[in-house]
Each structure stands twice: as C-alpha cells, then as structure tokens.
Amino acid sequence: MPSSLYLDDPHSAGPVLLARRIGRRSLAAVLDDPGWTRGLWLQLLGAHDEAIPCLEAVLAGRADPLGWAVAATHLLPSYLAVSRTVDASRLASEASATFARSERTACEAYARSMGALADQELGRLDAAGVGLEAALDRYRSLGLVRETTVVSGYLGELALERGERATARAWLERAVVGAKELGDPSLAAWLSTSLAACALAIEEAIANLLEAVGAIGQVDGGLHELVTLRYGHVELLEGVRSGPVAAPSFFDRVEQRLRDAIGPGSCVELRAASRILSSALDALRWTERGGIRLGHEVRLPGGRSLDLARRPVLRRVLDALVAARRRAPGSGLGVDEIFEAAWPGERATPSSAANRVYVAVARLRKLGLGPLILTGEQGFYLDPSVPVVDAQPE
C-alpha cells in the first residue's frame, strides 16, 4: 500500500485507516480464504504487484454483490499504490453503489473516499470533491471522528490542488484541531505540512513545518519525505522575496526537490504534495518568464504555443477570464457568466450549463493553462501574479 503518514506501519496506506471497521466486519471471511489472507499480508509488506493477483482472484470468485464489494475495498489500496488509478476509480464507484444499496454506510464512505483519491490523481477534481464530501457526510452521521478528520484533511489537500488557498486553510485548520484532540501527533504533523503549503509568508510556512517536525518524534518514513518536499514552498517564498535576479536559483532548488521526491510506491499524500508544489512553481516560473501572450495563438512560457482557432468555445472561455482579470484582478467568474460568454444566446438547464463550463475549464487546464486558472469563492479566475499581455503583431 502507499506508505501512510499516520498508521503505525510506515508501509501501510493512509486510507486503510478508514477501512479498519470494514476489516473487522469481514475478518471471518478473510481468514477462511487463503488467497484473501495472503493478498492482505502482501499489502502490509508493501508487495503490491504480488498482492494484486491474489486479491483480483478473490474478487472474481465473489458471486454475492456485498461480498464482491468488500473484496473490492481491499483491492483499492494496492491499485492506488501502483497508480492504477482508472481501475481504482471504477472499482470504488461500483463498490460504493453496492454498499449504499445495502445501507453499509461506513463501507460506502470508505469506498467513496478511495475513489475520490483516484479521481484526484486523474485530474477529475470536481468528481473528487463530490466523493470526499459524500464520505465526510457519512462518517459524520456515524460519529466517526478519526475518519472525519482524515477526510477533512484530504478535502484541504484537494482545495490546495484547485488553487483555493483560503478554503484549504479552513479545512486543514479544523482537521489539525481534530487530530490533536485524537492524540495522533503523526496525523497532526501531516496536516501541518499541508498548512505550510497554504502560507503566504515564509515565517508562517516555517512555523508550520517546525510544528510538523516536532509532532513526528521518532516516526519514520513518508512524513520526513513530505516535510522535505514541502520545504519547497518556503524556497518559493524566498525566491519571491529575493527579487527577479536571485529567484531562479530558488526555483531551481524546488525543481530538484520535485525530481527527488517521487519514486515507486510513493504514498498518495506525497504524490498530492508533489502536484501542489509543482503547480505553485509553474505559476512563479510563468511570472519569471513574462507570463502568457495572447494573440492568434496563446504563447506559454518556454515558447510553447496553444492554438485555439479550432476550439472557439475554449477561446471564448479564456477571453472571458482575461477580461475579468483586467477589470478586477483576483475576482472570479461564475458558471452563468462563463456559459453566457462561451455559448452566447444558448439556453441550458443549470446542471447542463455547469457541466459544460467545468469540462471547458478542465480542457484548458489540461492544455497547459492549469497553473493560471484558479478557483475561488466567486468562481474561476486567472492568477493575478502571472502577467497576461497582448502579443505584438509580427
């Protein structure tokens, strides 16, 4: 499994903590099935490539829907560990639906949370948010404080990845309080490193990382790697403070941290932290290299061009965001405003309009504008720190 920041075994998956009740309920079935028991044991050893065939065989042999869903939840952590995220997302969706029909609320919440982590890695951030919020509601309804705290932390990480710094801070601060009340210093440490990524000042970021280091104590493994990676946010802030001449050297250090951070079997928390740091670095690199230039083509930092001539809807979405940025930097455009700009004169139901806008924004992000397009309380907006200029005619 992906190494966890808050399980006793540093090679166990963070989300498996949420499955402990599932494990208790299905313990008898596991012990009666040698293949199942062997698969779970291999998971605990971190041998996911060996565990997956065992657990897939168990899954294929389960005829009853509920037994199949329980087997699926045990397979999910290994799929995530080896980055089989598409399979993990599909399996989690099917398992959560089965648990919902059977009113197995804790099991459903666990499957939803695992599916959300897979969706997040796939870049399906809206789907990930829906899954995590549904899981959170179910854990709260059951009074499961630890699981609620963990999922709140994942929602904070998701908000960070979306560029919603204020929302992320709110989720993470609540989760840190919960972790301390639970008496889990390791969990509190993970959440403190996430708060460091929210910081706008060097001193605040360092204070959060020092709190994480103090909470770690003798815990080894992924937490230390995460603290090391998240120090990159301090270096980004130092680069901004140092000015344009010295900044590139700080940014180069962060790039090296990112290259060193991720290896085979990296935990889901470390992979998320890497994506968040990489996005923050990209935004600052864009500023350093003059931002983006708007003309017949959209020119990105590094010389790459994005031709939206055959994608008029995407171009109109981008133009609307640029216009809003020039009117009031940092203010967002809501779904209705973007829909009206991108599909002028068309009518659609609120849900259909929202879906079309979300898909268009997701496509722009995947085409290379991810670091530029942020999400806030008012809607989508362009990062005010990144220059957006009109290209000079050639």
Domains in the chain, CATH or no CATH each? 1-143 (1.25.40.10), 292-390 (1.10.10.10)
What's this model's pTM, rounded to 2 decimal places? 0.75
Q: What is the mean pLDDT of residues 360-382?
A: 83
With bands split at pLDDT 50, 70 and 90, how would you rate the model's confidence at 136? very high
pLDDT, tens only, 1-17? 333 333 333 223 344 44
With bands split at pLDDT 50, 70 and 90, how would you rate the model's confidence at 28? very low
What does the mean pLDDT of the chain come to? 81
With bands split at pLDDT 50, 70 and 90, how would you rate the model's confidence at 20? very low
SS (HEC) of the chain: CCCCCCCCCCCCCHHHHHHHHHHHHCHHHHHCCHHHHHHHHHHHCCCHHHHHHHHHHHHHCCCCHHHHHHHHHHHHHHHHHCCCHHHHHHHHHHHHHHHHHCCCHHHHHHHHHHHHHHHHHCCCHHHHHHHHHHHHHHHHHHCCHHHHHHHHHHHHHHHHHHCCHHHHHHHHHHHHHHHHHHCCHHHHHHHHHHHHHHCCCHHHHHHHHHHHHHHHCCCCCHHHHHHHHHHHHHHHHHHHHHCCCCHHHHHHHHHHHHHHHCCCCCCHHHHHHHHHHHHHHHHHHHHHCCCEEECCCEECHHHCEECCCCCHHHHHHHHHHHHHHHHCCCCCECHHHHHHHHCCCCCCCHHHHHHHHHHHHHHHHHHHHCCCEEEECCEEEECCCCCEEECCCC
